[in-house]
Amino acid sequence: MSLPPLSSVSITSYRSLRAVHMPVGALNVFIGRNGTGKTNLYRALSLLQQAALGRITRAIAEEGGVESVLWAGERKRGAPVRLSLKARLGDLSYAIEIGLPNKVTEAALPLEPLVKEESLAIASGGRAIVLMQRSGPSVWLRAAGGERLTYDNEVLGSETALFAFRDGGRFPELDIVRRTLSDWRFYHGFRTDDGSPLRRPALALTTPTLSSDGSDLAAVFATLAEVRADTIDLDAAIDDAFPGARLAVAVDAGQAAISMRFPDLSRSFEARELSDGTLNFLALAGALLAYRLPAFVALNEPEASLHPDLLEPLARIVARACERSQIWIVTHSATFAEALAREAGAVPRTIVKTDGATEIEGLKVTGEFAEE
């Protein structure tokens, strides 16, 4: 069964994002200077995935804790300090709120991030039907048969109900949201130093999707060559970026390895010998041209270390990927944003910071862009 697309996202009180509600399309491109908070949009989406994986509170703690990730500007006096995230996936809407423990009513470690509320609703006939509501440790859910089931004090503040209730037969909509968010993939740049996993062989296992660190890149390419027996798009992308060059994939002794042959050189070059830019381009090609793409792919500054001549070929790879997945790109390269507009029909959105708050030019408070 196909997974529902992300149609809108709302982020409140996360770092420099005071309150952002925006639509999400097939290709979403954000451009801005350093320090405007464009990466915070990317990170907020990754927290939604962490909720599906049951580790959002740990992820926040690893970021520095609630006090570090919460909006640091002016707040309403007396209002609870909460980080709120909401995603609309097809007809389903999932929302979660994270806050600090109440010393009187909640047993938790000092300053521990806690899930305060969660909800899941489905749009039906012009209204929203609530399928799951969580307040503190108690949750009620509407089962597939329509009955309402209540679970008092069943989940800890460090857990999400989205992850805790994994009975897909009884709670099918919750299962769809969890699987959809878990399927997302975030590529926050690839290491290309001498110790990078991109420079080493990978286990020779069928690998339909590139891992976030790119450690199975050779296996992804081997899967295209040996399992799908179709490398037409990959070969075209490499020739587009490096005219006359060819990528070779070797599978031997349980490992897969890649090498490149360039037309003006007499031998092939293994992954450990390739330049940082060439290796980064190959990793991006693996992320976007793999056998199976995730429902949603986010790239943070993919142009890093790439020569300007590689930006248009990369934009053409993105255009092909948009036919199979939703793509979210954060960049500070105007050249790359313009290439995405030409090659993939993107409408780059400019990120600015006003009075400490990250804003998107043209985005109205109603959650629509002005020209739409």
Asked if residue 271 and residue 122 are part of one domain, the reply reads: no
Q: Confirm whether 301 is domain-assigned.
A: no
Question: Between vectors from CA 74 to CA 69 and to CA 75, what angle results, nearest 5°?
Answer: 80
- 71: buried, middle or exposed (CB in 10 Å: 19+, 13-18, 0-12)? buried
Domain boundary among 236, 259, 281: 281
Q: Confirm whether 308 is domain-assigned.
A: no
Give the pLDDT confidence of 282-318 residue by residue, as tens digits: 999 999 999 999 999 999 999 988 999 999 999 999 9
107 band by pLDDT with thresholds 50, 70 and 90: low
Asked if residue 98 and residue 22 are part of one domain, the reply reads: yes
Q: Are 30 and 329 in contact (CB under 8 A)?
A: yes
Q: Confirm whether 314 is domain-assigned.
A: no
How many angstroms separate the CA atoms of 360 and 363, rounded?
6
Determine the average pLDDT of the residues in 3-18: 94
Token pair for residue 59?
A: 């992820």
Asked if residue 204 and residue 145 are part of one domain, the reply reads: no
Q: What is the DSSP string of 14-30?
A: ETTEEEEEEE--SEEEE
Q: With 80 as the cut, is the pLDDT of residue 108 above it?
A: no
Q: With 70 as the cut, is the pLDDT of residue 95 above it?
A: yes
Asked if residue 206 and residue 133 are part of one domain, the reply reads: no
Which helix or strand (DSSP H or E) is residue 260 part of? Answer: strand 255-261
Contacts of 146 (CB under 8 A, 6+ apart): none
Question: Between vectors from CA 185 to CA 324 and to CA 120, what angle results, nearest 5°?
Answer: 90
Q: Confirm whether 147 is domain-assigned.
A: yes
* pLDDT score of 139: 96
Asked if residue 34 and residue 108 are part of one domain, the reply reads: yes
The model's pTM is 0.92
Asked if residue 265 and residue 212 are part of one domain, the reply reads: yes
Q: Confirm whether 290 is domain-assigned.
A: no
Q: With 80 as the cut, is the pLDDT of residue 102 above it?
A: no
Q: Confirm whether 325 is domain-assigned.
A: no
Q: Confirm whether 172 is domain-assigned.
A: yes
Asked if residue 120 and residue 36 are part of one domain, the reply reads: yes
Give the pLDDT confidence of 136-167 residue by residue, as tens digits: 999 999 999 889 999 998 898 899 999 999 99
Domain boundary among 256, 281, 306: 281
* pLDDT score of 125: 84
Asked if residue 202 and residue 177 are part of one domain, the reply reads: no
334 band by pLDDT with thresholds 50, 70 and 90: very high
Q: Are 330 and 350 in contact (CB under 8 A)?
A: no
Asked if residue 83 and residue 165 are part of one domain, the reply reads: yes
Asked if residue 98 and residue 24 are part of one domain, the reply reads: yes
Give the pLDDT confidence of 207-252 residue by residue, as tens digits: 999 999 999 999 999 999 999 999 999 999 999 999 999 999 999 9
73 band by pLDDT with thresholds 50, 70 and 90: confident
Q: Confirm whether 52 is domain-assigned.
A: yes
Looking at the structure of the chain, the number of domains it has is: 2
Asked if residue 267 and residue 148 are part of one domain, the reply reads: no
Q: What is the CATH number of the domain that holds 66?
A: 3.40.50
Domain boundary among 281, 316, 344: 281
Give the pLDDT confidence of 19-44 residue by residue, as tens digits: 999 999 999 999 998 888 888 999 99
Three-state DSSP state, 91: coil
104 band by pLDDT with thresholds 50, 70 and 90: low
Q: Residue 23 is part of which domain span?
A: 6-184+352-360
Which helix or strand (DSSP H or E) is residue 320 part of? Answer: helix 311-321
How many angstroms separate the CA atoms of 75 and 78, rounded?
9
The DSSP letter of residue 369 is B
* pLDDT score of 68: 84
Asked if residue 263 and residue 135 are part of one domain, the reply reads: no
Distances (CA, A) of 21 to 12, 110, 295, 364: 8, 31, 21, 9
